């Protein structure tokens, strides 16, 4: 028997194994990755589902809308986040006088045209849909003063706007503001709206587009929804509601108001 060969053979299981400090760095990193992979993957999936749910909710039901200017003061302040009810006019309802609405101003307040890089536009739209960033420059929030068929005139002897011959006292106007410094006498075409800001001296609204092809009228199908609540900041949580200032206005002769 070759005893020398027996002495030189070594049991592989008896070979000393490296301790934790001696293990290769990549092996330790791989073990840590496997340990964290499960929880982090679940958290990422849950976050993705939450974002998708919020985007769907914002697209179809209620969308947060960040107020970027003072054109609707004192009703809405800069930095308010209003909750826009997208179902208000999609279940048989139509905008009414006194409603505060959010609408896409393309084709009425701004010209249709190049809207920039598609990817950048998508990112901005996603942020705006979650109320994290300012809305697109083509989105506006105003109050409905005239609907299809209405004759809206500024102003009577007391400086009030008249709708279908009825003077309207507007309690929501910014203190010190006149109903309008710009005289007008218009008839709102069917399927469109005449909209004004509550802070008339600081609002770019239907009056500023009187001489343009659309005449300052906003198509009803461009309305995104009705601003029903102020959701943020918490100290301003309240219902925006529809003003009853137009309760005494009769329907237009031959119109649908």
3-state SS string over 190-218? CCEEEEECCCHHHCCCHHHHCCCCCCCCE
- Measure the CA–CA gap between 5 and 256, rounded to whole angstroms: 108
Is residue 211 scored above 90 in pLDDT?
no
Phi-psi region of 195 (alpha: psi -120 to 50; beta: other; left: phi over 0): beta
99: tokens are 């409603």
Question: What would the mean pLDDT of 102-117 be, rounded to a whole number?
Answer: 79
- Measure the CA–CA gap between 247 and 164, rounded to whole angstroms: 12
- Measure the CA–CA gap between 110 and 81, rounded to whole angstroms: 23
Query: Which of the residues 142, 180, 203, 206 is marked catalytic?
Result: 142
Is residue 187 scored above 80 in pLDDT?
yes
Is residue 214 scored above 80 in pLDDT?
yes
Instruction: Quote the crossing angle between the two packed helices 25-60 and 118-129, to the nearest 10°.
Output: 70
pLDDT band of residue 125 (cuts 50, 70, 90) is low
Element (H, E) at 102: strand 100-104
Residue 241's pLDDT is 81
Check if 142 is active-site. yes
Using CA atoms, how far residue 18 sits from 21, 27, 32, in Å, is 8, 12, 18
Is residue 7 scored above 60 in pLDDT?
no
Backbone angles phi, psi at 124, to 5 degrees: -65, -40
pLDDT band of residue 76 (cuts 50, 70, 90) is very high
205: tokens are 């609204």
pLDDT band of residue 51 (cuts 50, 70, 90) is low
Residue 96's pLDDT is 95
On whether the CB atoms of residues 195 and 94 are closer than 8 A, the answer is no
Of 5-19, 114-128, 164-178, 217-231, minimum mean pLDDT range:
5-19
Query: Which of the residues 71, 108, 203, 243 is marked catalytic?
Result: 71
Check if 125 is active-site. no
């Amino acid at each position: 028997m070759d005893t020398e060969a027996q002495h030189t053979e070594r049991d592989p299981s008896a070979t000393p194994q490296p301790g934790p400090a001696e293990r290769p760095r990549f092996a330790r990193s791989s073990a840590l990755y496997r340990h964290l992979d499960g929880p982090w993957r679940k958290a990422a999936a849950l976050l993705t589902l939450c974002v998708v749910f919020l985007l769907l909710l914002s697209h179809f039901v209620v969308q947060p809308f960040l107020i970027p200017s003072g054109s609707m003061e004192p009703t809405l302040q800069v930095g308010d986040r209003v909750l826009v009810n997208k179902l208000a006019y999609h279940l048989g309802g139509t905008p009414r006088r006194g409603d505060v609405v959010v609408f896409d101003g393309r084709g009425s307040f701004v010209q249709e045209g190049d809207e920039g890089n598609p990817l950048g536009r998508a990112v901005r739209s996603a942020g705006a849909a979650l109320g994290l960033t300012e809305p697109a420059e083509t989105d506006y929030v105003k109050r409905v003063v005239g609907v299809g068929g209405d004759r809206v005139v500024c102003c009577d002897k007391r400086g009030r706007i008249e709708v279908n011959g009825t003077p309207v006292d507007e309690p929501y106007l910014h203190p010190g503001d006149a109903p309008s410094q710009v005289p007008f006498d218009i008839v709102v075409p069917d399927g469109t709206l005449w909209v004004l800001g509550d802070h008339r001296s600081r609002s770019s609204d239907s009056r500023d587009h009187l001489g343009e092809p659309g005449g300052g009228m906003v198509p009803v199908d461009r309305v995104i929804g009705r601003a029903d609540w102020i959701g943020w900041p918490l100290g301003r949580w309240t219902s925006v509601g529809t003003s009853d200032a137009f309760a005494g206005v009769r329907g237009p002769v031959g119109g649908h108001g």
